[in-house]
C-alpha cells in the first residue's frame, strides 16, 4: 500500500464537507496534479463532537461515490497511541502514530548502549550529501539523542506492531509524528531518529517532525521563513540519505502538520519540492470548520445570529477551549472583539474578520484562532448547528472548496 507522491490530510470536524473537499482534489487532478486525499480526525475531536471513527470512513466513501473518484484515498486515525487505537482499526487505513508525549522519557540502558554502538560509524565529522556543512558526532551527542528520542521510537514501534497484528502487514499507511512538542528536531536528530526506526523493522511512509517556529492553528507561520526553508531543505536531504543508509521505504516523505494556512511558507515548500522532485504530505487542521462558520456568517439571518452566539460563548469560555491547544495557539486576548461589538456586525464584517486574507483591514487572527478551538460550542448546539450548515450547504461548501483549492493546493503543488 502506497500513499503517492503528493498527499493532503484534511480535517472535517462535523463530517459534512467531504464532497466539497474532494472537489478540490478533483480540480487539481483535472489540471494534471495528482494528490491523494486523506480524511483525518483525532480521538480528541471525536470525543468533543460525539462522532465515531466509522463516521469518517462513511463520509469519505460517500464523497468518493458521489464524485466517482477513481484514485486512491485514505482515512487517517490521527494522533493515536496504544490507549485508543483499537477503536480506529476497522475504519482506518492510515495511522498517525503520535509519540510526542514519550519524547524525553528514559530508555532502557541496554537499548541506549546498542543505539550508540549501532551509530558509532557516524562519529567525528559526518557529512550528508547536499548539505554544505558537516556534523560533529561523538558519544555525548549520541547519548543525548538516545535519551531524548529512543523511548518514543520504541513506543512508535509498539503502536505499529499492535496495528499490524490486526490489520495485517502492508494493509495500512503509517506516519510517525513528533510535532506537538516545544522544541524542534534538528536535521541531524531526524537522521538518527530515522536510523533508530529502521532498527525496529517497521514500515512507515511519512515522518512528521517539529519544525522551527510556531505552527499555530489556522493562521500563518510565526518565525523566519528563510530559516524554515533551510531546515526543510536539509530534512529533505536527510531523508534521501537515510533511505539509502538504512534501507527505508523508498517512498518515505516528510509530513508537515501545518495547522493550516502557512501561506508565507508555501512558496519555499513548493520551490524545494520542485528542486529535488520530492513528494510531501500536508496535514491541515480545522480549515473546513472555519469555512463553515465563514459561510454561515455570509448567509446572514438566523445563520449569522448562530455564529455570533457561538463566538460569544467561546469568548466567555476561552480558558477551557484554549487549554488543550496551548502549544499551537497564541491568542492576544485584549485583541479579541467583545461579543457586544460582534453583535453589531453584518455578514460581511464577520466573514472578513474570520477569513484568512492577509492584509485585509478587518482580518483578526485572534478571533480566527478562538473560533478554531471553539468547535466544542458548535457541537453543544447539536442539530441546530448541523441543520444550519445543511440549510446553507452550497454557500458553505463553496467556501470549503475555494479555501482548500485556492489557498492551499494551488500554492503548494503548482
C-beta atoms surrounding 352 within 10 Å: 19
Residue that has been written with the C-alpha cell 503543488 in this structure: 413
Grid coordinates representing 260 are 493550516
H, E, C per residue of the chain: CCCCCEEEEEECCCCCCHHHHHHHHHHHHHCCCCCEEEEEEEHHHHHHHCCCHHHHHHHHHHHHHHHCCCCCCEEEEEEECCCCHHHHCCCCCEEEEECHHHCCCCCCHHHHHHHHHHCHHHCEEECCCCCCCCEEECHHHHHHHHHHHHHHHHHHHHHHHHHHHHHCCCCCEEEEECCCCCCCCCHHHHHHHHHHHHHCCCCCCEEECCCCCECCCCCCCECCHHHHHHHHHHHHHHHHHHHHHHCCCCCCEEEEECCCCCCCCHHHHHHHHHHHCCCEEEECCCHHHHHHHHHHHHHCHHHHHHHHHHHHHHHHCHHHHHHHHHHHCCCCHHHCCCHHHHCCCCHHHHHHHHCCCCCCCCCCHHHHHHHHHCHHHHHHHCHHHHHHHHHCHHHHHHHHHHHHHHHHHHHHHC
pLDDT, position 299: 98
Q: Residue 124: what pLDDT?
A: 85
For the chain, domains (ranges, CATH) are 6-287+409-413 (3.20.20.70), 288-407 (no CATH)
- pLDDT at position 247: 97
Confidence at residue 281, expressed as pLDDT on a 0 to 100 scale: 97
Report the relative pairing of strands 173-177 and 94-98 from DSSP bridges: parallel
Contact 390, 381 (CB under 8 A): no
| pLDDT computed for residue 238 by the predictor | 98
pLDDT by residue for the chain (414 residues), tens only, comes to 899 999 999 999 999 999 999 999 999 999 999 999 999 999 999 999 999 999 999 999 999 999 999 999 999 999 999 999 999 999 999 999 999 999 999 999 999 999 999 999 999 889 999 999 999 999 999 999 999 999 999 999 999 999 999 999 999 999 999 987 878 999 999 999 999 999 999 999 999 999 999 999 999 999 999 999 999 999 999 999 999 999 999 999 999 988 789 999 999 999 999 999 999 999 997 789 999 999 999 999 999 999 999 999 999 999 999 999 988 899 999 999 999 999 999 999 999 999 999 899 999 999 999 999 999 999 999 999 999 999 999 999 999 999 999 999 999 999
The cell numbers describing 208, all together, are 512528521
Amino acid at each position: 500500500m502506497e500513499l503517492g507522491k503528493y498527499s493532503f490530510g484534511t480535517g472535517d470536524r462535523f463530517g459534512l464537507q467531504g464532497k466539497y473537499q474532494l472537489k478540490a482534489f478533483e480540480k487539481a487532478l483535472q489540471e494534471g496534479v495528482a494528490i491523494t486525499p486523506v480524511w483525518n480526525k483525532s480521538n480528541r475531536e471525536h470525543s468533543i463532537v460525539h462522532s465515531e471513527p466509522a463516521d469518517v470512513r462513511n463520509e469519505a466513501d460517500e464523497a468518493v461515490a458521489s464524485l466517482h473518484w477513481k484514485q486512491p484515498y485514505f482515512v487517517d486515525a490521527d494522533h493515536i497511541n496504544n490507549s485508543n487505537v483499537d477503536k480506529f482499526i476497522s475504519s482506518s487505513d492510515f495511522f498517525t502514530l503520535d509519540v510526542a508525549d514519550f519524547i524525553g522519557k528514559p530508555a532502557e540502558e541496554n537499548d541506549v548502549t546498542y543505539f550508540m554502538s549501532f551509530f558509532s560509524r557516524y562519529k567525528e565529522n559526518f557529512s550528508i550529501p547536499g548539505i554544505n556543512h558537516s556534523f560533529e558526532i561523538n558519544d555525548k551527542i549520541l547519548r543525548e539523542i538516545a535519551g531524548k528520542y529512543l523511548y518514543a521510537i520504541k513506543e512508535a514501534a509498539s503502536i505499529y506492531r499492535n496495528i499490524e497484528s490486526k490489520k495485517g502487514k502492508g494493509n495500512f499507511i503509517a506516519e510517525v509524528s513528533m510535532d506537538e512538542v516545544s522544541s524542534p528536531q534538528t536535521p541531524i536528530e531526524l537522521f538518527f531518529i530515522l536510523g533508530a526506526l529502521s532498527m525496529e523493522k517497521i514500515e512507515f511512509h511519512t515522518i512528521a517532525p517539529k519544525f522551527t517556529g510556531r505552527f499555530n492553528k489556522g493562521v500563518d507561520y510565526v518565525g523566519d521563513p528563510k530559516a524554515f526553508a533551510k531546515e526543510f531543505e536539509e530534512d529533505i536531504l536527510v531523508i534521501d540519505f537515510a533511505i539509502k543508509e538504512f534501507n527505508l521505504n523508498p517512498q518515505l516523505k516528510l509530513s508537515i502538520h501545518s495547522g493550516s494556512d502557512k501561506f508565507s511558507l508555501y512558496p519555499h515548500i513548493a520551490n524545494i519540492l520542485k528542486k529535488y522532485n520530492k513528494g510531501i504530505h500536508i496535514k491541515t487542521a480545522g480549515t473546513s470548520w472555519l469555512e463553515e462558520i465563514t459561510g454561515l456568517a455570509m448567509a446572514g439571518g438566523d445563520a449569522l445570529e448562530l455564529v455570533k452566539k457561538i463566538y460569544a460563548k467561546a469568548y466567555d469560555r476561552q480558558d477551557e477551549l484554549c487549554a488543550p491547544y496551548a502549544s499551537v495557539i497564541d491568542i492576544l486576548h485584549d485583541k479579541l472583539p467583545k461579543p457586544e461589538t460582534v453583535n453589531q456586525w453584518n455578514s460581511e464584517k464577520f466573514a472578513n474578520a474570520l477569513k484568512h486574507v492577509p492584509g485585509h483591514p478587518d482580518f483578526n487572527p485572534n478571533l480566527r484562532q478562538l473560533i478554531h478551538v471553539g468547535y466544542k460550542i458548535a457541537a453543544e448546539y447539536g442539530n441546530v448547528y448541523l441543520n444550519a450548515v445543511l440549510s446553507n450547504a452550497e454557500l458553505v461548501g463553496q467556501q470549503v472548496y475555494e479555501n482548500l483549492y485556492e489557498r492551499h493546493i494551488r500554492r503548494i503543488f503548482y
